[in-house]
Structure 1
Amino acid sequence: MQALRNCSLCAGGNLLKGRTDFLVARRNMAALRLSAACAQLLRVYSSSLQQRLLRLPQVPRCSAVALSVGSGLCAVPFTHQQVENLSHESLIRRASCLVTDSANTHLSQTTMALVDAFTQYAKALHTLIALQKRYMASIGKLSPAEDDSIWQVIIGQRVEVSDRQEECNRFESNWIHAINICELSAEAAYNSGAEQACRTTKTNVQVAQAKVEEVREISKEAEKKLAETKAEEIQRMAEYASSIDLLELEGVPEAYLRED
């Protein structure tokens, strides 16, 4: 009886153990199938992603090379396709082109300022010439109050002429420095192999010099006319003073010298 009971317990235990092993094996198979499905999915996704990346346009990646000059830093940009051109000579050539561009801009601005200053100076001179000619035409015809009023206007215009002349001198100094910078940058561009930048800068210098020389000649002509007008005014004033002295000696009142 005891043996039968032990046999039944053993059979029941073996049966339970067989069921457990079957469930574990079944679970392991499910996990294995899931892993295989995941691996297949990863392979498909990786292949699809690779094909998409191959179809993407190649975007150049920008980098920069930092050059230390003294205590400053200069970053020269370049693209990935131009890596093979990043020699010392090419970097110097690019830098010289940047220098010539900046020098040309500086020259253009200083030339415009100087041309405008000379133009305004010439206008102020012609205005002063016109005022002095009007005064000469009215010598002996004005009352002392009117004469003083005209002289105040003339003095004010002379101050403006002086201010305009100082402005011309200031802008001309800046312009001369710009010319020197352009000449140095053109020489540097030529030495680095940037012949086109050198030629462009030299052409700009010639054009700027021609423009400035043109307006300078206009202002010189105005100064010459002003000097002639002053000389004529001095002569007229001397003649008028001599006539006054002569009439006073002859006893003729000054009032008779004024024209109606």
Structure 2
Amino acid sequence: MAALRRWKSFVSVIRSNSALVWPGVRPAVQRLGVRTALFTGGAAVAVGSTLCAVPFKQVEDLSHDSLIKRAASLVTDSSSTFLSRTTLALIETTILYSKAVHTLIALQKRYLDSLGKLSPAEEDAVWQVIIKQRAEINERREHCERLDLTWASAFKLCEAAAEAAFSSGAEQACVTIKSHLDLAQSQVDEVRKISAEAQTLLTQTKVLEVERMASARGSEDEEMPEAYLRED
């Protein structure tokens, strides 16, 4: 019996010492077990408690009408981008064409003003410059015509997209693309007006050139003896 009492007292001492040496071991183990449960089988409990604190997010409308409206909006956006790119390209190309025309007009006027004052070599050099400028004008005109066709296709595409957006109920997209159509039309009309004015000036310069050349030839013919003008 004495031995048994000594054994119990020894065990109690061991337990009290272990509690002093490793304090808080059991609570830490318990917390670890709780965390493990939260990330495994107890995850549903954590989610449930979170849902109680945070309101539910509205589910997006995935009806046919909503999807059609979104698709119509995407079509109007891409069509507007296509129209904007072609409009910018057409404007820049038309402006370059107009500048080339005005350069040719200036060259022809300078040539007409110097008729009879240039040597044959100088006159030939001037004509080479004029011919080169005319070739550049023809090239730029062809580029403008190609871009004009592309721009017309983009404009029609935007018109179709606007109609589709309106019929699908995407009113805002319809209003936006119509404003883009009006802006593009006004910008292109403005540069076309500038180009037409330059072309009119070029035509007038050509008429003046023909008159001046005819007058110069007439003067040369008057100076020639009558024997050279008579047909035998």
TM over 0.5: yes
Distance 1:244 1:201, change over 3 A: same
Moved over 2 A (4+): 40-58, 80-83
Q: Which sections of structure 2, spanning at least 5 residues, go unmatched?
A: 1-26, 228-232
Match of 1:101 in 2: 77
1:81 aligns with 2:58: yes
- CA distance in 1 between partners of 2:212 and 2:226 (Å): 21
The structure with the largest alpha-carbon Rg is 1
C-alpha separation in 1, matches of 2:63 and 2:199: 56
d(CA) in 2 for partners of 1:198, 1:155: 49
Q: How does 1:1-260 map to 2 (within 5 A)?
A: 44-45=34-35, 46=37, 50-51=45-46, 54-55=49-50, 81-83=58-60, 85-249=61-225
How many residue pairs get aligned? The number is 195
SS in 2 for 1:82: coil
Q: Given residue 58 of structure 2, which amino acid in structure 1 is its aligned partner? A: Q
Question: What SS does the corresponding residue of 1:111 show, helix, strand or coil?
Answer: helix
Gapped runs of 5+ residues in structure 1? 1-36, 61-79, 252-260
Once superposed, what is the RMSD of the aligned Cα atoms?
Answer: 3.0
Cα distance in 2 between the residues matched to 1:145 and 1:138: 13
Looking at structure 2, the residues matched to 210 and 152 of structure 1 have their Cα atoms a distance apart, in angstroms, of: 38
- Describe the SS at the equivalent of 1:81: coil
Query: TM-score, length-normalised on structure 2?
Result: 0.76
In the TM superposition, what is the alpha-carbon distance from 1:247 to its structure 2 partner? 1.1
Cα deviation, 1:33-53, whole Å, max 9, x if unaligned, reads xxxx9xx77984447864487
Percent identity over paired residues = 50
Q: Higher strand fraction: Structure 1 or Structure 2?
A: 1
The one-character-per-residue Cα deviations of 1:16-49 (angstroms, maximum 9, x if unpaired) are xxxxxxxxxxxxxxxxxxxxx9xx7798444786
User: Looking at both structures, which has the greater relative contact order when contacts are Cα pairs under 8 Å and sequence separation is at least 6?
Assistant: 2
CA distance in 2, matches of 1:202, 1:209: 11
- One-letter code aligned to 2:59: Q
Letter in 2 for 1:82: V
Shift of 1:81: 3.2
